[in-house]
Amino acid sequence: METPRAPARVAHPPFNEASTRIDMIERYFRPGVRFLWNKPPDNNGNVGGAIVPSAGVATPLTYDGLDGHSAAVDPLLLLSNASHVLGIAKGANVPYAWLDYAPGRTAQLPIAGADILTGYMSGCLIARGTAGGVMSAFHLGTIDSRPEVNRTVKEVFSDALPPDVTGFFPNRAWTAGELALIQGRLGGTAGAASIIGLITATGAFYAVALFQIQEPRPGGVGGVTFTNPAGLRYWCVGGIKPVPALNRIRVRGEVLH
């Protein structure tokens, strides 16, 4: 990994303005921050549309320093001690809870004071509301190629719609142009962006853009790899955006659409 050098002033797109509220898990997702992480697997099963408990377990999300391409890094992290700014030491794990993507069903996870990640996001609605007296997060497991399944998923969730429901679509927060710009700043080492949804313990919604990163294979054997010797994927944060919540009327409109 290259040692970052302070760049000439580089204009970052609006996502960098999310730093106006960086006081919980979202503070770790500044542009240029590197992680070692393998996403928990999808919760595959039947596609009957039911609301099911999220069964996935959070996998270690390990802070791995800064990316070597300074144009992709939040300038504040280059001008200061990054670990001090982020509040985490290299090699430490970021705590979070995981909300499944259950294709053809809706996964439900009690929030219980945890910050929640879910993904990858290509078009699913993420919701938050009280069900059975418990504040929960929901990932509607729609499938891009199965409109008939999606109708069932949405109908079931609409019938159980919490009275205090709010929601958002993480993938809608980012344009293809923004993601391509960030990918270019990573100097050709990044794969396509993956969008992750974040629901904080206080109910704020964020969309995080992550890029898989190639590194030279260890041991001088030549070639590149997306994983370290332990099989963990290299990731770089492209940015984080706060997303305004859809109210109940708009959430209902989306699921009835």
Query: How far is 156 from 144, CA to CA, in rounded Å?
Result: 18
Query: How far is 229 from 73, CA to CA, in rounded Å?
Result: 25
Single out the residue of 182, 239, 180 nearest to residue 16, CA to CA: 239
In this prediction, residue 13 carries a pLDDT of 40
Query: How far is 35 from 243, CA to CA, in rounded Å?
Result: 23
pTM for the complete prediction?
0.88
Query: How far is 213 from 141, CA to CA, in rounded Å?
Result: 27
Can you name the residues that pair with 131 across neighbouring β-strands? Answer: 134
Backbone phi, psi, residue 127, to 5°? -130, 165
In this prediction, residue 113 carries a pLDDT of 87
In this prediction, residue 4 carries a pLDDT of 45
Amino acid, res. 247: N
Q: Going residue by residue through the chain (257 aa), what tens digit of pLDDT does each one get? A: 444 444 333 333 433 333 333 448 999 999 999 999 999 999 999 999 999 999 999 999 999 999 999 999 999 999 999 999 999 999 999 999 999 999 999 999 999 888 999 999 999 999 999 999 999 999 999 999 899 999 999 999 999 999 999 999 999 999 999 999 999 999 888 888 999 999 999 999 999 999 999 888 877 677 889 999 889 999 999 999 999 999 999 999 999 98
Query: How far is 85 from 201, CA to CA, in rounded Å?
Result: 21
State how beta strands 126-131 and 205-213 pair. Answer: unpaired
Residues in the chain: 257
Query: How far is 126 from 195, CA to CA, in rounded Å?
Result: 13
Query: How far is 75 from 30, CA to CA, in rounded Å?
Result: 10
Across the beta sheet with 205-213, the strand order is 62-66, 33-36, 234-242, 205-213, 190-199, 116-119, 97-99
In this prediction, residue 3 carries a pLDDT of 44
In this prediction, residue 220 carries a pLDDT of 67
Q: Where are the domains of the chain?
A: 14-256
Report the chain's C-alpha Rg in angstroms.
19
